[in-house]
Chain A
Amino acid sequence: NAGVTQTPKFQVLKTGQSMTLQCAQDMNHEYMSWYRQDPGMGLRLIHYSVGAGITDQGEVPNGYNVSRSTTEDFPLRLLSAAPSQTSVYFCASSYAGPNTGELFFGEGSRLTVL
């Protein structure tokens, strides 16, 4: 099983450029989310979705957009990259929701903004 697949694994951007981090899951999970991981700060929730057509903001949504047109895919868009967005990004999905069910994580996408 593929599980949660993230692409690309590595990306370097210049300030002001835009890009999309892709996330796909093949487990038919309704819940999907994006986190960023920074040293000393753990994981912080950017956006999440409880089903196709539904998205909501997490703790640190500024500078990021998401959409959920299908159950399988949950892309994260950086509209105008800034050095503060240099981070490792993780997509995660869950069948029952994170309060009771297991979150399944992708392997991460390391983004550097120069």
Chain B
Amino acid sequence: GNSVTQMEGPVTLSEEAFLTINCTYTATGYPSLFWYVQYPGEGLQLLLKATKADDKGSNKGFEATYRKETTSFHLEKGSVQVSDSAVYFCALPRGNEKLTFGTGTRLTIIP
């Protein structure tokens, strides 16, 4: 079945550093791919998504490109801020009614 493998954390960066969080997937066909973010003490919220191969999702300065050649959907941001400190989850559908999540990557940004 569909699954995601996500970069282990935690990740600690200085403010304005470049961020990459790796995510690779195994899937039948080309399902939509998602990144969700969980800020401290909150539930998850959708950060960005891509619905087909070669699509790029973007939001709040974050980007991820759906690459079928490498079965990857890595999350990137050019210059991180303290407010980006959170846990990030890669996700993809399993069938029509289920979403499977990666284990999450905790990101801490130091001023």
Complexed CA–CA distance, A63 and B15 (Å): 44
Check B103 against A42 for contact (C-beta < 8 Å). Answer: yes
Chain A residues positioned under 8 Å from B51 (CB to CB): 100
B60 interface residue (CB < 8 Å to A):
no
Q: Which of A57-99 contact B (CB under 8 A)?
A: 58, 90, 92, 97-99
CB distance from A42 to the nearest CB of B (A): 4
Chain B residues positioned under 8 Å from A31 (CB to CB): 97
Check A102 against B103 for contact (C-beta < 8 Å). Answer: no
Residue of B36, B42, B103 near A107 (CB, 8 A) is B42
Q: Size class of B's contact patch?
A: 20 to 34
Complexed CA–CA distance, A90 and B104 (Å): 15
Chain A residues positioned under 8 Å from B42 (CB to CB): 107-108
B43 interface residue (CB < 8 Å to A):
yes
Check B44 against A56 for contact (C-beta < 8 Å). Answer: no
Check B31 against A43 for contact (C-beta < 8 Å). Answer: no
Known: A42-B103, A43-B101, A103-B46. A97 touches B89 (CB 8 A): no
| B residues in contact (CB < 8 Å) with A | 6, 31-32, 36, 41-46, 49, 51, 89, 93, 95-104
What are 12 A-B pairs at a CB distance below 8 A?
A4-B43, A31-B97, A35-B101, A41-B103, A42-B101, A90-B44, A92-B44, A97-B97, A98-B97, A99-B93, A103-B36, A107-B41
